Amino acid sequence: MSRAVQLVILGGIGFGLPAWAFTQIEDIRVMQLIVACALVSLAGFFGTVYLVPKVASKTQARGICGKDLNKKGTPEGEKPIPEAAGLAPGCIFLLCVICFELLHYYDIGSLVDYVRSGFKGSPKTEPISDALVIDYNAALATIGFMLFLGFADDVLDIRWRVKLVLPLFASLPLLVAYSGGTGIAVPKPLVGLGLGLPAYLELGVLYKVYMVMLTIFCTNSINILAGVNGLEAGQTFIVACAVLLHNLLAVAGWAGATPAVRDGHLFSSYLMMPLAATTFGLLMFNWYPSRVFVGDTFTYFAGMTIAVAGILGHFSETLLLFLLPQVFNFVYSLPQLFKIVPCPRHRLPVFDPATGLLRPKDAPDWNLVNLTLQLFGRCGENALCVRVLMFQVASCALAFGVRYLLQGHYK
């Protein structure tokens, strides 16, 4: 299957399912906002496609480049490939979110009429809630901070132990600005055990500790499930589309009648649409054979954006279901991450130039990429990426099944 066909299938499924969920929404005002965000995101896709080559040429000129270790021993493996290309989608994403935030100050229908009239008169303005402005500013500050730290890591090559705590500093704006609830709904089966547990448990500051832990996990989980062309951006795209689908289904269904819950899912959608669009633009260059490496710039930015969407959308438990491969990979990697088992700088499989296939090392590294090779046998780099991403898709499908089967019974 050609590169173009693979991308068309990935994009068709990723964008098609949320588009179907959108058709289930009946609120005209909500539909207008989602369409406006989709148009801004579409512009973000084209902006990313335009900017990635520009960033790549600059980083390569500054020596920020590397060689593809999964092609070692071939002519392709000797070519320098620009790194830190994630700076392009990161900057375009922030621009998209800022532009869409500005649209909240106007009535969308009036704004459309204003454009159709050739910009005559002035569009009708609308009040925007302080809570929404705070959420936007907290998200922008946190994600922008993480994007900067990721690029600094690509340039300065920060030590691994330091990398683990970078999200702590980046999440400070989110923690300071967070004004939502700090409690959790206790699962109904536990309440019914007669242990004296309340239906709602207030955690206070412990909830914010949980928020920090979630941002640290999401940011690093994308970063450690990597090393194959298209894998970092591919998993981000799939998770972003799954979260977007979940949000739109919630808005069209059970959350639509509760403004506070609905608004949380809508805000999460406003982050996921530009993330999916800009990531897909990056995939145009990062899919096998990769012309750019996304770098820690992208993995940190993408992981933090997903975490912020889950926290401010108030569905962090469901988010972890979508991230089951990342959770498994993190737990499976712990012996190496904590140096119980020797951990090399690059936990990559071995490439055989004679066959063009990848195989696990004689003493395999403890991660999902190498485990996939152990379980399913040798394969090419593109096939390996597709296998891992299929697991990601299956996990997201399972998450939807679990989430909706337990709805009303679990909490």
Domain parsing of the chain, residue ranges:
3-315
| Residue 375 pLDDT | 93
Q: How far is the C-alpha of 159 from the C-alpha of 302, rounded, in Å? A: 20
The pair of three-digit structure tokens given for residue 109, joined into one six-digit string: 């229908």
In this prediction, residue 131 carries a pLDDT of 86
Please tell me the predicted confidence (pLDDT) of residue 317: 87
Q: How far apart are the first and last CA of the chain?
A: 44
What pLDDT was estimated at residue 408?
Answer: 66
In contact, 154 and 83? CB cutoff 8 Å:
yes
The confidence score (pLDDT) of residue 194 equals: 65
Using CA atoms, how far apart are residues 44 and 21, in angstroms rounded to an integer? 22
Contacts of 297 (CB under 8 A, 6+ apart): 84, 85, 86, 87, 90, 147, 150, 151, 153, 154
Q: Which residue has the tokens 């302080």?
A: 130
Q: Which candidate, 183, 151, 182, places its Cα nearest to that of 166?
A: 151
Q: HEC string of the chain?
A: CCHHHHHHHHHHHHHHHHHHHHCCCCCHHHHHHHHHHHHHHHHHHHHHHHHHHHHHHHHHHCCCEECCHHHCCCHHHHCCEECCCCHHHHHHHHHHHHHHHHHCCECHHHHHHHHHCCCCCCCCECCCCHHHHHHHHHHHHHHHHHHHHHHHHHHHCCCHHHHHHHHHHHCHHHHHHCCCCCEEECCHHHHCCCCCCCCEEECCHHHHHHHHHHHHHHHHHHHHCCCCCCHHHHHHHHHHHHHHHHHHHHHHCCCCCCHHHHHHHHHHHHHHHHHHHHHHHHHHHHCCCCCCCCHHHHHHHHHHHHHHHHHHHCCHHHHHHHCHHHHHHHHHHHHHHCCCCCCCCCCCCEEECCCCEEECCCCCCCCHHHHHHHHHCCECHHHHHHHHHHHHHHHHHHHHHHHHHCCCCCC
The pLDDT value recorded for residue 276 is: 99
pLDDT for residue 152: 93
Predicted model pTM: 0.95
Nearest CA among 359, 235, 224, 358 for reference residue 286:
235
Reading the chain (411 residues) residue by residue, the pLDDT tens digits are: 899 999 999 999 999 999 999 999 999 989 999 999 999 999 999 999 999 999 999 999 999 999 998 998 898 988 999 999 999 999 999 999 999 999 988 888 788 777 777 777 788 888 888 889 999 999 999 999 999 999 999 998 888 777 778 888 899 999 888 877 787 777 777 776 666 678 778 888 899 999 999 999 999 999 999 999 999 999 999 999 999 999 999 999 887 778 888 999 999 999 999 999 999 999 999 999 999 999 999 999 999 999 999 999 989 889 999 999 999 999 998 888 777 777 776 778 999 998 999 998 877 788 999 999 999 999 999 999 999 999 999 999 999 998 888 776 666
Nearest of 328, 339, 337 to residue 371 by alpha carbon:
328
CA 51 distance to own-chain centroid: 20
Single-letter code of the amino acid located at 251: V
Q: Quote the pLDDT of residue 409.
A: 60
pLDDT at 192: 65
